[in-house]
Structures are given as C-alpha cells and as structure tokens.
Structure 1
Amino acid sequence: MQQVDAGSYVVDLCAALEAITEGGERIRLESKVEEGIFVSADKAIPLGLALTELITNAVKYAFPPPHSGTILAQVRRHQPGRIELVIQDNGVGMAGLREGSLGYGLVRSLVQQIEGDIDIRSEAGVTVTISFPDLPPEGQ
C-alpha cells in the first residue's frame, strides 16, 4: 500500500493554495503539522480535496473586506488510531450551516470516503475538524 506523509502533503497543498489569498496581505494561510503521520494514498486524495474546499470557502467567506485574518490547517494524531485534519479561521464566523450547499455536500462525501467524522463549529471564526482512522501498523 502506498503511503503519503500527511504533514508534508498538507504543507505542500497550503503553499499551492496561497495564490488564492491574494498575496497573503489580508489573509494569511498557515500550516502546523505533526511529524510521522502517514495516510494511504486512497485517503490522501479525498483529504486533499476536502482541505482545498475548506480553505477556499474560508478565503471566500471568512474575511469580507476590510476584515483580515489567518486560516490554519493542522494535521495531528488526536488519539491512538485516529488522525485529525483541522481547518480553522479567525474570521467573521457562520450564521448557519447551509446543509444543501454544494461545498458542504462535497466535503461530507469526501469524509465518508475515508470513514471519517466531521465537526463544524462557528465560535470566533469557523473550525472544521475531520477525524478518521489511522493506518494499521506495518505488517497488519
């Protein structure tokens, strides 16, 4: 099974997505990752798509001019056997989740593909936490 270093993957995706922040003067995109977290290639693709969608939404909606702020993407081991991808912004927050929105449906579908859970909170910005099962140890 091909494995992808989740930390490097998130850092590289964030670097590629910096272009949509219009030079980073008003909106900063940061990443904070734990070392040594690997995911299967089958999980890396939906994770990358979900990350891209969530960061794009944050850029579009979290900081209407003249607001400025930071979007933080994190990968961490939440507990034994679980990994978390967290996208957090300190923007204006959400009045309510639009269940029928295309982006929300896409992210939900991608999270289901990796057998994960999603938690969305709007407190001092928006925090989206995707939790999913870790790879089994080598040889299992």
Structure 2
Amino acid sequence: MPQTILYVDDDLALARLAERHLGRAGYQVIHATDQASAMEAMERGGIDAVVLDHYLKAGTGLDILHRLKDQGSDVPVIYVTGSSDATIAIDALKSGASDYVIKTVGDEFWPLMESAIRQGIATAELRRAQEKAEREIRLGKERAEVLLAEVNHRVANSLALVAALIRLQVSSSRNEDVKAALAETQARITAIAGMHRSLYTSDDVRHVEMDKYLGTLVREVQDTVNDQQRPSIRLEAEPVSLTSDRAVSIGMIVTELLTNALKYAYPTGVEGEVRVFFKRQDEESALLAVEDDGIGWREGDQPKGTGLGSRIVKSMAATLGSTIQYVPNVSGTRAELKVSLT
C-alpha cells in the first residue's frame, strides 16, 4: 500500500507537479490549499508525511505547524519555502518540522523533496517503534513489580506462619534450653519475614527503607522477650535505602546482636537499655552499631551459649563485604559494622 503525502500549497500548478513527481516515487498525494482543508485531511487520518509550504494566501505554514504541534501530531512535516532567509527554516524546525527544503526552479528540488520525505517517514517510524518498545518495557516492569510484591507478600505470610508455629512450641516446651533455642530461631525467621513485609508494602519492591524495617524489627525482637525485667531497646535509624539482600543481612545481624544483648548484657533483674544505631557516614557508607552499658564483652572472649549467633553475625557481615568490630568501652559492649551503600 503506497504511503500518503499531504501536500499543502495554494499554488495549483506546483501541486500538480508534486502529484506527478511524488507519484512516480510511489507516494499517494492529497492536496490542500489552506489551513482548514489541511486540518480536515489530517483528522481523516492515514497521512504518513506532510509537505507544508510557507507562504499561503491566508497566513503561513507555521500556523498549520503550530496547530499540528498543539494536537500532538507525530506525522513528520517537511517545510518548504522559497525564501533564502534562514530564520524561517529555523522557526519551522523549532516548531516541530522534521526537515525543510528550499523551493527552487532547478531539477534538484524534487529529488531533495523525495529524500526529505523518505528520511522524515523513516525517522518517525523509528521513533514510534522506540516509544512502543519503551511502553512495553515499562508495562513489563510494572507487571514484574506487581508479581514481585505478591511473591514478597506470600513469603512474608508463610514465614510469619512458621514463626507462629515456633512460638506455640516455645509456649508448650518445658525445657528452658529448648525454649531459648526456639525463641532465637523465631527471631531469625521474623527478621527475614519483616524484610519481605517491608518490600511488599513499599512503592519500590527492590529496596528497603532501613529506618522503617529496623523499627519493625526492634519491636518484634522486644516482643519475643516475654520478661518485663529485660532491658529496653532504643533505635536511632536514618532513612537509608538498601537492596533487599543487603537489608536482610543487616536484619539478621541486628537480630543476633540484640538477642545476645538482651540475654547476657545485664544481670537478671537489672534494668538497662540496648541501643541500635544506623546512620549515614557519607554518600557511600553507613554505620550500624549495637551497644549496651552492661557487663561487657570483648572480641576473643568465649561466646555465651552455643556460639551460633556469633557465627551468623560474621557470615552476614562477610556477605556485606565488611566485618564486625567490637569497640572498647568503659562499660558495656559496642559492636560496629560499616555498610557500603553502593
């Protein structure tokens, strides 16, 4: 099917020449003499390119060009003028024309016109194809994010169910060591579930806002300690965004350090506080710290309990490309971890 060219010019003789020359080039030509007939032809559709003369009896081609631009037309426009004034061509290009051709009486005019039309149509087709591809990519990304949010929702619910089942086992067990081990396992599962919950409730399913995530995590860890004599927890976290894999590693580290501090930092019956900090140091890093004012523990001391928590902390720190540092304090324990944000 031949491509259709709308030729706008009030010179009937030139219009007939256009039909002859462009017809030989394989185009179908529709002729319009003014703005009204040109816009009517555009509204009917099926136009692949517009050849628009500058000088018309009523106004100029720029008036039609502005109308097309206001309507959001993506049809390429080849602007034609007999003037040698470069400002007309510049104005046309600024107004949305894809190219321009200077009207001459020489033999080169029609070949230049055909070349401009061919290039204008090709460029418009490429632009439409690019816009279509970008729309498809955007829609695909949106569908993937919806699916990923649903997956995170289901995973969070499943982990919450597992944590609830473990909680039932804790309440029914009579062995204190078993109860403690199950409670620690419940806290670890809850940390991962909290990360997934943060993802499916966020606008960005790939990143976790650490202040919100750690706030939820701290509350859940505190709730697992069903003893009013246990220390309280204070959190100071800045709104830093991390990818989900890095967030869950930090969540596991905080869970282990908090659980250990709540169990061992203060003697039974002694009130105290455990503090969690997550603050940006610069554009590329943040500092995670968990500290208390308790009996103190230094790196190299014999771990209390099974030592599983210490191994988990070291492993999670390694996945972040970092290590846990225990900072000497006058009293208590302070564990620090530098986290890369890039």
Superposition TM-score, scaled by structure 2 size = 0.37
Query: What residue is the counterpart of 2:325 in the other structure?
Result: 119
Is 1:87 the counterpart of 2:274? The answer is no
Structure 1: how far apart are the matches of 2:332 and 2:224? Answer: 19
Structure 2: how far apart are the matches of 1:58 and 1:85? Answer: 15
- By how many angstroms is 1:83 displaced? 1.2
Query: What residue is the counterpart of 1:31 in the other structure?
Result: 235
Code of the residue aligned with 2:264 in structure 1: it is Y
Query: Superposed, which structure 2 residues align to 1:1-140 within 5 Å?
Result: 2-22=206-226, 24-35=228-239, 37-94=240-297, 97-98=301-302, 101-123=307-329, 124-135=331-342
Structure 1: how far apart are the matches of 2:293 and 2:266? Answer: 9
Structure 1: how far apart are the matches of 2:237 and 2:273? Answer: 16
Q: Does the CA contact (< 8 Å) of 2:230 and 2:262 recur in 1?
A: no
Structure 2: how far apart are the matches of 1:48 and 1:98? Answer: 24
* Aligned positions, number: 134
Query: 1:79/1:20 Cα in 2 relative to 1: closer, same or farther (>3 Å)?
Result: same
Query: 1:76/1:6 Cα in 2 relative to 1: closer, same or farther (>3 Å)?
Result: same
- By how many angstroms is 1:93 displaced? 0.8
Structure 2: how far apart are the matches of 1:24 and 1:110? Answer: 30
Code of the residue aligned with 1:53 in structure 2: it is E
Which SS does the other structure have where 1:94 is aligned? coil
Structure 1: how far apart are the matches of 2:302 and 2:242? Answer: 30
Which of 1 and 2 has higher RCO (CA within 8 Å, sep 6+)? Answer: 1
- By how many angstroms is 1:53 displaced? 0.5
CA RMSD of aligned residues (A): 2.1
- By how many angstroms is 1:87 displaced? 0.7
Superposition TM-score, scaled by structure 1 size = 0.85
Q: Which has the larger radius of gyration?
A: 2
Please identify which structure carries the higher helix content.
2
Identical-residue share of aligned pairs (%): 23
Which SS does the other structure have where 1:76 is aligned? strand
Which SS does the other structure have where 1:22 is aligned? coil
Structure 1: how far apart are the matches of 2:255 and 2:230? Answer: 19
Query: 1:93/1:134 Cα in 2 relative to 1: closer, same or farther (>3 Å)?
Result: same
Structure 2: how far apart are the matches of 1:131 and 1:3? Answer: 19
Which SS does the other structure have where 2:324 is aligned? strand
1:75-111 superposed Cα distances (whole Å, 9 cap, x missing partner):
1012331111111111111265337932212101100
Where structure 2 has 5 or more consecutive residues not aligned to the other structure, the ranges are: 1-204
Code of the residue aligned with 2:209 in structure 1: it is D
Code of the residue aligned with 1:87 in structure 2: it is V
Q: Does the CA contact (< 8 Å) of 2:229 and 2:270 recur in 1?
A: no
